[in-house]
A and B are shown apart, each in its own frame.
Chain A
Amino acid sequence: MKLSFSVEDEHFRNEVAAWLADNLCGEFEQIRHRGGPGDEHMFVQERIAWERQLYSGGWTCVGWPEEFGGRGASIEQQVVFHEEYARAGGPGRIGHIGETLTGPTIIAFGSDEQKQRFLPGILRGEQLWCQGYSEPAAGSDLANIKTKARFCEESGQWSISGQKVWTSLAHESQFCFVLARTDSESVGHRGLGFFLMEMAQPGIEVVPIEQLTGTSEFNEVFFDEAVCGAQDIVGEPGDGWKVAMGLLGFERGVSTLGQQMLFRNEFDEIVRVAKTNGAAQNSAIRQRIADAYVGLQIMRANSMRMLSGGGSGELQKEAMIYKLYWATWHRNLGKLAMDVLGSESEVLEGGPYELGRLQSMYLFTRSDTIYGGTNQIQRNIIAERALGMPREPRG
C-alpha cells in the first residue's frame, strides 16, 4: 500500500494548479466556488465562457483518449486534476454531462460519423448536453420508460414522443441524449434505443421545475413528435439499455476526490461559523462536527481504495457503498450546518427567498439521497449484488 502520488503525477499537479492560478481570475473571479450542486442555475453564460477558457488550455476532457482530442490522462492524473480544480474553487462544470457521459458513450458505442460530429463540440466547450433518462413513471425503475421512438420511412427520421423529467440544464443545452422505446410492444430493458437529439426544434418543450430551494436546476422536457436523423441512434434499435448502462460505468470515481474537496469547503465553513458563534463550545455540537470529519476522511480513504482497485469486472465493495455513504453523510452535514447556525439558520440573506450558502446546501442535500439511485435502491443493490441476497420480486 502506498498513499502518495508519483513524482510525475505531482508535476502534473503543479501544472494544473499553475494554469488555474493564472486563468481562474479576472473576469472569472466571480464564478469561483459557484455553479455547483444547488447552484447550477447561476452564472450560466460566464461558466460557458469558462468552458472555452479551459479548452484553450487543453483542460477539457482530460480523461478522453488523445485520438479524440483528450489528454489521455491516467486515472491518477484525472484524480489530481479534479482535486486541484476543486481546491482552486473551480466553478461547477457546465459541460460535465457532455464530457463525462455523452463523450465516453459515443467513444465506446458510437459510429465514426457520430464521433466526428459530436466530440469536437464537447471538447471545445461549445455544445452543452443534458440527459433524458428519468420519466414520471420511471424513476428508480428506469427500465419502465414510456417515451416512444418511431422510425418514419417517408422522412427517414426518428420521431420521438413522450416526457422526461429531472433534466438538469435542459434549457441551456443544445443537445440531449434520450432513452426511448423503439419497440412499442416491448417492456422493461428490452426494445430501447439511445438517441442523440437537438434541443432547438418545434417538437421539444422545456418546463422548469421549481424546487424546494425556490430555484430551478431541473426541468421537465416534453417530446411531441420531435425528430432526429436515422444516423443519430447510438448502436442498434434495442441496444439502448446496454448503451445506457455502459454509460453509468464510465464515471469510475475519478471525480470523487474533487467532490470531497467541495464537501471539505462546506465543512470548513461550518467549523468557521461554530468557532465564531460559540457553537464550538457545545459538547453535542463538538461530537457531531468531529463525526462529520471522521466521515469525510473515511470517504477520502474509501475513494482511494476505489481508484486503486478496478480490476476488470471485479466487484468492488468500496465502490458499491459509495453513493449511499456520501449521500447520507452530506445530508447529515446539511442538518449539522443549520444546528451550528442555531436561530440564525432561519434568517435569509434577503427577500423574497435568497438563501445563504449553508441554507442552500441544507435544502439541496435532501435530494442527494434520492437522485442517482435512492438510498433504498442502493441498499437493494448492495444486498443483492454484494451480499448475494435474493432479488426483489419485479412486476
Chain B
Amino acid sequence: MEFKFTEQQEMIRDTADAFLAKSSASAAVRSAMVSELGYDPHLWSSITQEMFWQAIHIPEQYGGMGLGYVELVAMLEQMGRYLLCSPFYSTVCLAGNALLVAGTEQQKEKYLPEIVAGSTATLAYTGAKGGWDASAIDVVCEPQGDGFVLNGIYRFVPDGHSVDLLVVAARAPDTQGEAGISLFVLPAATEGITRQWLPTMDQTRKQAQLEFHDVSVDGASVMQAPGRAWPLLEKIIDLATVAISADQLGGSQKTLDSSVEYLQQRVQFGRVIASYQAVKHKAADMMVKVEASRSAVYYAACIADEALQGEALGSQLAEVASIAKAYCSDAYFHNAGSAIQLHGGVGFTAEYDIQLYFKRAKSTETFLGDGAFHRERLACILLDGEAVA
C-alpha cells in the first residue's frame, strides 16, 4: 500500500501548477471566459503542442503517453485551481474516455491520434429534459442501411458549440431507461446538426445545445455494443465524474488558500482578522473539506486506473465516482460560499476572483449530477437489496 503521489506524479502536478500560474492567471481567465469560444486558441495550442497534456492517459499505440488516471487527475486538480478555460475536459475526459471505453479498434485508430494532435471533442447524452442517468437520453436513433438516423436535442453539452468531434448517445424508438442505448462518433460538422452556444452563469465552462435533425451516420460511426451500450456509457460517465471531482478539489483548495491569504492581510479593530477564532474555525472547516475531498478524489483515481486496465478493483468505479462527486460537489460549494463570506464586501465584487470560483462550484456541482443525485445512486446500492432479517 502506497497511497501517495510518486515522484513522477508530483512532477506532473508541479509542472501543471507552474504552467497554469503563468498562462491561466486571472486576466487570461477573464479574457477567455467572455468569448463565445470560451478559450484562448493560442493557449490550447501550447497545451496540446508543447505540454502534450491531452495525450497523458491515451495509450502509446494511439500516439499518447500511456500514463494513468492518477496523473490525469493530478493535472485536472491544477486546472480547477486556476479556473482553466479550455476544451481539455470535454476532449480528454468525455470524448477521450468514450473512445477508450466504447470505441471500436478502427475508431480508436482514427480518432485518438486526432485528439493527440490537438483536435477537440466532447460527449453529449443528456436530452432536452435534463438529468444525468440513462433516462436523460432522449435523442432517438432509427436503423437506416448499415447505420442510423438520429433526431432530437442535446442540452448542457460542454464545449458542444466549438468542438471538432462528437460522441453522442441515442436510444432506439420506444425504449426506456437503460435499454436500447447506442453510441456514435461523428464529426460535429455532419449535416443536420445545429449547434447553439448557451450563455451560462459560470462563464469559465462553456455549454451548448445540439439539435439533430435527420442526421445520418454510417456503420463506421457506430460504437461498441449498439442497442445495449448503457454499461459502457455508464463507465464513461463514471470516469468523467471522477475527473470533474478533481477540478472541484482544485477549486476548493484555491478558495481556502485565497481566503487565508486575505484574512492574514485584512486588519480590523487593530488585528488581522485571521486572529479571530470565529474566522479561524471557518477556515479550519474548509480545510477539513479540502483534505477529505483530496482523499476521495485520489482514491477514485486509483480505482479509475484499475477500471481502465480491467483490474479487479475497477468494479468499485461507480461507487467511488459517486462518493467523490457527492462529497466534492458539496465541499466546493461550501468552501466557495464560505470564501465569499470570509472576504467580506470585496468577496461580492466582480474584481476579486472568488466570485468566479463560486460560480464554477455551482456549475460543476450540477454537471453529471449533484450531491443528492449521487447519494441516491449510492442508496440504491446500499439499501435496495433484499431485506435482512
Contacts and interface: CB of A to CB of B under 8 A. Distances in A.
B106 interface: no
A14 interface: no
Interface stretch (A151-159, A164-172, A207-215, A302-310): A302-310
Q: Is the interface of A mostly helix, strand, loop or mixed?
A: helix
Contacts of B383: 271, 274-275, 280, 286, 289
A301 B294 CA distance: 9
Nearest to A280: B383
Nearest to A5: B1
Interface string B272-315: 10110101110111011001101110110111000000000100
A356 B127 CA distance: 50
B260 A389 contact: yes
B272 A290 contact: no
B386 to A, nearest CB: 8
Contacts of A11: none
A278 B327 CA distance: 26
B284 A387 contact: yes
Contacts of B22: none
A318 B294 contact: yes
Given A304-B299, A387-B283, A390-B274, A289 B379 contact: yes
Contacts of B70: 1
A378 to B, nearest CB: 7
Contacts of A379: 280-281, 284-285
B287 A286 contact: no
Contacts of B292: 298, 302, 321, 325
Contact of A286 (B294, B298, B375): B375
B29 to A, nearest CB: 25
The B interface, classified by DSSP as helix, strand, loop or mixed, is helix
Chain B interface size range:
35 or more
A324 B288 contact: yes
Interface in A280-317: 280, 283, 286-287, 289-291, 293-295, 297-298, 301-302, 304-305, 307-309, 317
Contacts of B287: 317, 320-321, 382, 386-387
B326 interface: yes
Contacts of A283: 376
Nearest to A296: B323
Most B CB contacts (10 A, CB to CB) among A286, A383, A388 go to: A383
B94 to A, nearest CB: 24
Contacts of B294: 305, 318
Given A274-B383, A280-B383, A287-B376, A305 B283 contact: no
Interface in B223-263: 256, 260, 263
Nearest to B71: A1
B277 A380 contact: yes
Contact of A317 (B285, B291, B375): B291
Enumerate the 6 nearest inter-chain pairs by beta-carbon distance, A residue then B residue, closest first.
Answer: A383-B280, A290-B375, A301-B299, A379-B284, A286-B379, A382-B284
Interface of A: 1-6, 9, 76, 79, 271-272, 274-276, 280, 283, 286-287, 289-291, 293-295, 297-298, 301-302, 304-305, 307-309, 317-318, 320-321, 324-325, 376, 378-380, 382-384, 386-390, 392
15 contacts: A6-B1, A76-B1, A286-B376, A287-B379, A290-B378, A294-B375, A302-B291, A304-B299, A321-B291, A321-B292, A380-B280, A384-B280, A387-B256, A389-B283, A390-B274
Given A283-B376, A320-B287, A389-B279, 10 more contacts: A1-B301, A3-B299, A276-B387, A280-B384, A286-B379, A294-B327, A308-B1, A318-B294, A387-B284, A387-B287
